[in-house]
């Protein structure tokens, strides 16, 4: 009996990604009206299936479906017919979840970007809204296969607050449990995250008890080719994600320093796929700078330190961390703000395969987390996520 069965815990995986089926948009948005602007699959000059809107490439069609793939990133599947179909089919995916020891998955996108920013690149905002709604409806249908085990997270038309609130209400009524939002909306021509412009949106989300999820890479992604080409493609692919992980420190600092946490004390935020080991340092740094830079004089209404705002309202997800790195984060933060994820089925997810050192989640938890107290594991693996997303 492994540790999951021993504890009887229903593990909630707080960061996974759907693989958008090739007909997602062409089956839901009028091709007769919008033509090839509706996202569709074409092979690029390398023979890789690629999502296109017109001549604009959006995202590879299958490269995110890397679980169990036979070669290391960035050498990833060129088409969806090459991967285990259970990865992208909701019924089959439940089988993989059972094998891995995962009870429920929180679902995020690929093609639209991790804050729906790619929809804004199309220029036609009427079409952008239709595409976003089509994605949200697809996610509703995906989750309907087993609503207790699939947790849909809605994309929002952040370029219009009224439309955003309307779409959030619509998706909430269809079972969505939170929203995904860009950590740097200014990248897409919108006000900065700290701008009070967004307060009406935060207020609506707080009232609806919908968590705001900031996935890494949801802002400026210009450092995807971070290293000089002489370093090699594998070294580059291993290096740039680290800047995304720690880049979420900027998001945490913005939520706290911008007064968002103070003004909306019941609103919950999630740092997705960022890891947790860096957070104690970031919060200690924020607390120190807070005092040294006179924030209390500038904002006497702020009644908490940054670390206290974090503990009240912000969560973060880990997947590969264990040992002293994870233990220290739990010791410093407590267990109430930490969530478990696998990043399935992305490259470097907790997905075993012929070229991956990853353990299946049930084995990882048994081998690397067994030193944690059982009440801590219960919180980290299930309770925190269940409370955050109102899963019961």
Task: Count CB-CB contacts under 10 A for residue 58.
Answer: 19
**pLDDT value for 53:** 95
Q: Which two tokens stand for residue 105?
A: 């998955």
Peptide bond into 345 cis (omega under 30): yes
**pLDDT value for 293:** 98
Q: What is the DSSP letter of 253?
A: H
**Maximum alpha-carbon separation in the chain:** 61
Cα–Cα distance for residue pair 238/92, rounded to 1 Å = 30
Nearest to 388, CA basis, from 315, 307, 309, 279: 315
Q: Which two tokens stand for residue 247?
A: 């880049």
Cβ proximity of 19 and 110 under 8 Å: yes
Cβ proximity of 128 and 119 under 8 Å: yes
Cα–Cα distance for residue pair 258/280, rounded to 1 Å = 20
**pLDDT value for 116:** 87
**pLDDT value for 131:** 97
Cα–Cα distance for residue pair 268/172, rounded to 1 Å = 16
**pLDDT value for 229:** 94
Q: Name every residue whose Cβ is closer than 8 Å to that of residue 153 and which is 6 or more positions away in sequence.
A: 106, 107, 108, 139, 176, 177, 178, 179, 180, 213
Q: What is the DSSP letter of 13?
A: E
Nearest to 142, CA basis, from 153, 131, 132: 153
Task: Count CB-CB contacts under 10 A for residue 285.
Answer: 13
Q: Which residue has the tokens 């050192």?
A: 357
Considering just the CA atoms, what is the radius of gyration of the chain in Å?
20
Domain 3-388 class, CATH top level:
alpha beta
In 146-201, DSSP assigns E strands to: 150-152, 154-155, 178-180
Cα–Cα distance for residue pair 80/77, rounded to 1 Å = 7
Q: Name every residue whose Cβ is closer than 8 Å to that of residue 277 and which is 6 or more positions away in sequence.
A: 318, 321, 325, 326, 328, 329
Task: Count CB-CB contacts under 10 A for residue 43.
Answer: 12
**pLDDT value for 121:** 85
3-state secondary structure 353-378: ECCECCCCHHHHHHHHCCCCCHHHHH
pLDDT in tens, the chain (392 residues): 799 999 899 999 999 999 999 999 999 999 999 999 999 999 999 999 999 999 999 999 999 999 999 999 999 999 999 999 999 999 999 999 999 999 999 999 999 988 888 888 888 999 999 999 999 999 999 999 999 999 999 999 999 999 999 999 999 999 999 999 999 999 999 999 999 999 999 999 999 999 999 999 888 888 889 999 999 999 999 998 999 999 999 999 999 999 999 999 999 999 999 999 999 999 999 999 999 999 999 999 999 999 999 999 999 999 999 999 999 999 999 999 999 999 999 999 999 999 999 999 999 999 999 999 999 999 999 999 999 999 97
Q: Which residue has the tokens 């998001």?
A: 251
**pLDDT value for 299:** 97
In 90-210, DSSP assigns E strands to: 104-108, 150-152, 154-155, 178-180
Cα–Cα distance for residue pair 256/259, rounded to 1 Å = 5
Encode 357-389: b = buried (16+ Cβ within 10 Å), e = exposed.
ebbbbbbbbbebbeebeeebbbbbbbbbbbebb
**pLDDT value for 224:** 85
């Amino acid at each position: 009996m492994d540790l999951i069965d021993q504890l009887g815990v229903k593990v909630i995986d707080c960061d996974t990604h759907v693989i958008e089926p090739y007909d997602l948009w062409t089956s839901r948005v009028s091709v007769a009206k919008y033509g090839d602007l509706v996202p569709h699959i074409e092979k690029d000059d390398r023979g890789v299936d690629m999502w296109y809107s017109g001549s604009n490439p959006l995202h590879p069609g299958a490269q995110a479906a890397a679980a169990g793939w036979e070669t290391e990133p960035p050498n990833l599947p060129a088409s969806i017919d090459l991967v285990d179909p259970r990865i992208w089919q909701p019924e089959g995916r439940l089988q993989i979840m059972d094998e891995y020891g995962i009870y429920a998955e929180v679902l995020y996108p690929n093609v639209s970007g991790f804050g729906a920013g790619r929809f804004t690149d199309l220029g036609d905002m009427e079409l952008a809204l239709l595409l976003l709604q089509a994605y949200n409806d697809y996610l509703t249908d995906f989750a309907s296969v087993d609503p207790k085990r699939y947790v849909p997270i809605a994309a929002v038309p952040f370029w219009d607050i009224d439309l955003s609130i309307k779409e959030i209400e619509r998706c909430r009524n269809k079972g969505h449990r939170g929203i995904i939002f860009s950590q740097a909306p200014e990248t897409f021509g919108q006000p900065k995250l700290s701008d009070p412009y967004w307060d009406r949106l935060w207020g609506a989300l707080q009232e609806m008890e919908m968590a705001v999820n900031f996935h890494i890479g949801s802002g400026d992604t210009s450092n995807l080719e971070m290293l000089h080409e002489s370093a090699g493609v594998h070294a580059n692919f291993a290096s740039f994600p680290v800047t995304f992980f720690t880049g979420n420190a900027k998001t945490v600092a913005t939520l706290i320093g911008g007064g968002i946490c103070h003004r909306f004390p019941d609103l919950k935020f999630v740092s997705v796929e960022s890891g947790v080991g860096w957070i104690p340092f970031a919060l200690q740094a924020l607390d120190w700078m807070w005092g040294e830079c006179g924030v209390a004089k500038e904002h006497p209404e702020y009644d908490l330190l940054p670390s206290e705002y974090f503990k009240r309202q912000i969560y973060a997800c880990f997947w590969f961390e264990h040992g002293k790195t994870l233990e220290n984060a739990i010791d410093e933060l407590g267990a109430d703000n930490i969530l478990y994820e696998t990043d399935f089925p992305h490259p470097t997810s907790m997905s075993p395969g012929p070229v991956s050192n990853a353990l299946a989640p049930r084995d990882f938890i048994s081998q690397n987390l067994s030193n944690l107290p059982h009440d801590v594991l219960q919180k980290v693996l299930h309770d925190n996520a269940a409370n955050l997303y109102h899963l019961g």
